[in-house]
Amino acid sequence: MKPGLATIALRRYDVFHAIDLASQAGFAGVEIWGKPPHMPEEFDPEHTARVRDRVRASGMKVSMFGSYVRPGLPDFQPKAEEAIKIAKILGTRRIRVWAGNKEPHEADEDVWQDVTGELKEFALHAEDEGMILAMEMHGGTLCATPEGCLRVLEMCKAPNLKINFQVLDPRNPDLERVIPMLGKYVVNVHAQNYRPSRREPDKLELCLIREGLVDYDRALALLAEQGFNGFVEVEFLKGENENENVMLDSLQKDAQYLRELTAKYQREG
């Protein structure tokens, strides 16, 4: 396993400064966030090449392109084509994708068929280009539950359609059930953590990855048992809404923790 950073965590900066900060913190790779100010709305091959070159010059690699390609939207097809072009320029084989815009309990059979049909076609095209699609586990999509993830995978039957894992409910991480269910499909991990707010205990607040309700040591142990050996990425930083110094201190502490934790479960290959 390797420690990484999703550059959305540093979205207040331009992408080049975000890459520099990630390198200085000791990450091995970055997932390039697919929205401004990190990537323009319209495909820009020159900008994309400059991003790739900055990452390489920093000694890191691009772990994944964090696209917003989503079946069901009018721009799905052109954005899917663009995502492949961008990933190829960045030098990564992984593209983050979204499983529609409805949760499993909201989706009728037509939605399931439409979303999985488009995802399968995208996956087949991506496979021809040597790419892997990593579906974001996220609310507002068919991957809002682990069972939803499995159903999408089973309906698509595309060997290069995988999962970008994250804990869906910090209050109930359910690691012992969810990771054995999905672990063999996981190709990337988004790490963020929460704890009850000191001011409002009924609400959760973002905290350091080592401090929250989710036990990432246990999560990575379970993922390692399933054969996972990819990037574990900081996605959001404690202090982002407080001040810059707190946020950058969190960046250093989360980076150190993920370096230690991924080294513990790193294997050759």
How confident is the model over 169-217, as pLDDT tens digits? 999 999 999 999 999 999 999 999 999 988 888 899 999 999 999 999 9
Q: Could you tell me the pLDDT band of residue 2, with boundaries at 50, 70 and 90?
A: very high
- Give the pLDDT of residue 135: 98
Q: What's the pLDDT band for 236 if we cut at 50, 70, 90?
A: very high
CATH class in words for 2-265: alpha beta
Angle at 246 between CA 240 and CA 247, to 5 degrees: 40
Say what the pLDDT of residue 200 is: 87
pLDDT (average), residues 146-157: 98
pLDDT class of 268 with cuts at 50, 70, 90 = low
CA nearest to 216, candidates 161, 158, 165: 165
Number of H helices, E strands in the chain: 8, 10
Fill in the amino acid letter for 268.
Answer: E
CB 135 within 8 A of CB 161: yes
Collect all residues with Cβ–Cβ distance below 8 Å to 186 and sequence separation of at least 6: 162, 163, 164, 165, 179, 223, 226, 228, 230
- Domain residue spans in the chain? 2-265
**Tell me: the pLDDT tens digits for 87-124?**
999 999 999 999 999 999 999 999 999 999 999 999 99
Question: Does residue 267 surpass a pLDDT of 80?
Answer: no
* Distance in angstroms (rounded) separating the CA atoms of residues 118 and 111: 11
pLDDT of residue 193: 97
Mean pLDDT of the chain: 96
Rounded (5°) CA angle 91-94-99 = 145
| pLDDT tens-place string over residues 6-43 | 999 999 999 999 999 999 999 999 999 999 999 999 99
Give which of 27, 22, 8, 64 is closest to 263, Cα–Cα.
Answer: 27
Q: pTM of the predicted model, to two decimals?
A: 0.95
265 three-state secondary structure: helix
CA 177 to chain centre: 21
Q: Which pLDDT belongs to residue 202?
A: 87
Three-class secondary structure of residue 195 per DSSP: strand
User: Is it the case that residue 269 has pLDDT exceeding 60?
Assistant: no
Tens-place pLDDT, residues 211-234:
999 999 999 999 999 999 999 999
Confidence of residue 67 (pLDDT cuts 50, 70, 90): very high
CA distances (Å), 213 to each of 74, 183, 196, 259, 268, in order?
38, 20, 9, 20, 30
